[in-house]
Amino acid sequence: MSARIVAGRGIRPLLLGLLLLPVTAFAQTVPLTQDSWVIPGASANFGNSATLSVGGTNATAALVQFDLTALPPGTFASNVSKAMLTLFVDKVNAAGTVNISVANGGWTEPGVNGNNAPAAAAAVASGVSVSTTGTYLYVDATAAVQAWLNGTTNSGFVITPNDGVVTISFDSKENTTTSHPAALAITLASAGPAGATGSNGTNGATGATGAAGSPTVSYTAGSGGSTINKLTILSGAPSTAITATTTSVSGVVGIATATVSAASAVAVAQVGSASCVFDGATTAGDYVQASTTTAGDCHDVGRYIYPTGIQVLGVVLSTNGSAGTYNMTLFGPGPGNATVNFQCNGPALPSAR
């Protein structure tokens, strides 16, 4: 199993990407309990080292482990929608590639060495390029975390050289200079399973009927009208709704739910599930932005690092091989990168220096 890896100058885009999910989800960073590195065949222990060495002439390997018991009680694998392992590249002596795998056996920070270290088991990401000091590696570890929650023993991750060239080091939790230890951010689709149904209480008095809610906002269509399943922006004063252009990197207010003529009322979906015309293929879970090639279309922009400098509209909900109209989840309108309410437990991810 492999995953695409993205190096970035800051960790904030990752955290924003995890938080800009529907409000039924929340991101939690679980504690890093131990980390170390080993020289294969050597008895030396490096549990107190400020960095985690990988590669070089000794083909050193690094180990990191996280405590999943910090997740809410009753959390199952099915609750995990994303798990992202983040490593900070403290130094690159020689660029190359590394492999990230789950560790095949237990170990302890003060006791692990090159003679008793666990071997690499299931692959998390293979052939990951590392070339620049002071960057982050974002590794999709969702499958590994789900396996641990399903009962597989959590022995952490092992990072090994993939070639005979790479010589790098990552920050450890003992690093007091750059202080960016490994982090594991887990996004939960829900806080846990539903509890048992309680007994019925006595019926209360019938209250007054409230007004019906609406998942859409009504606007007056501008010149040219509005087209169903097309992205919508506001124009003029007073504002009218028009189809987004290929330069609408921000200011999208939602998706038109009907085709109407100019000056007619149009309902625009702003938050939650909606259908959008996509300009090309899609992958379930990828972020969505406005198309720069077809006016009003949505565009799949990928998932492995949160996009910057554009308005992220939401996530696409299905995988499709070509352009078409597909369901997505809208985050809601906002300039640039929109934000939503979220719940976040555990320590925040560190900022880049």
Cβ 86 vs Cβ 185: under 8 Å: yes
Domain count of the fold of the chain: 2
> Are 120 and 244 in the same domain?
no
The C-alpha atoms of residue 71 and residue 187 are separated, in whole angstroms, by 10
Give the C-alpha separation, 215 to 200, whole Å. 31
Torsion sign, CA atoms 38, 44, 49, 51: negative
pLDDT < 70 regions, the chain: 1-25, 190-195, 209-214, 304-307, 333-353
* Enclosing domain of residue 237: 216-330
341 in a structural domain: no
Tokens standing for residue 296:
């009003």
Residue 254 included in any domain:
yes
Largest CA distance in the chain: 78
Asked whether the beta carbons of 314 and 255 are under 8 A apart, the reply is: no
Instruction: Indicate if 58 and 181 belong to the same structural domain.
Output: yes
Q: How far apart are the first and last CA of the chain?
A: 32
In a domain, 201, yes or no: no
pLDDT at position 195: 66
Both 52 and 170 in one domain: the answer is yes
In a domain, 244, yes or no: yes
Nearest to 55 by CA among 128, 108, 140: 128
The pLDDT score that the predictor gives to residue 343 is 36
110 & 227 share domain: no
Tokens of 275: 């259908």
Residue 299 lies in a domain: yes
- In a shared domain, residues 54 and 187: yes
Whole-number pLDDT of residue 3: 43
What's the CA gap between 168 and 175, in Å, rounded?
15
Q: What is the dihedral of CA 171, 40, 145, 341, to 10 degrees?
A: 0
Residue 249: the pLDDT is 77
Same domain, 50 and 183: yes
Q: Is residue 62 part of a domain?
A: yes
Domain match, 19 and 131 both: yes
> pLDDT tens digits, residue range 162-179?
999 999 999 999 999 999
Question: What dihedral do alpha carbons 235, 239, 240, 241 form, nearest 10°?
Answer: 70
Establish if 351 belongs to a structural domain. no
- According to the model, what pLDDT value does residue 248 have? 82
The pLDDT score that the predictor gives to residue 35 is: 98
The residue type found at 311 is Q
Contact yes or no for 222/253 (Cβ under 8 A): no
pTM beyond 0.75, yes or no = no
163 occurs within a structural domain: yes
Residues 93 and 18 in one domain: yes
For residue 21, give the CATH number of its domain: 2.60.120
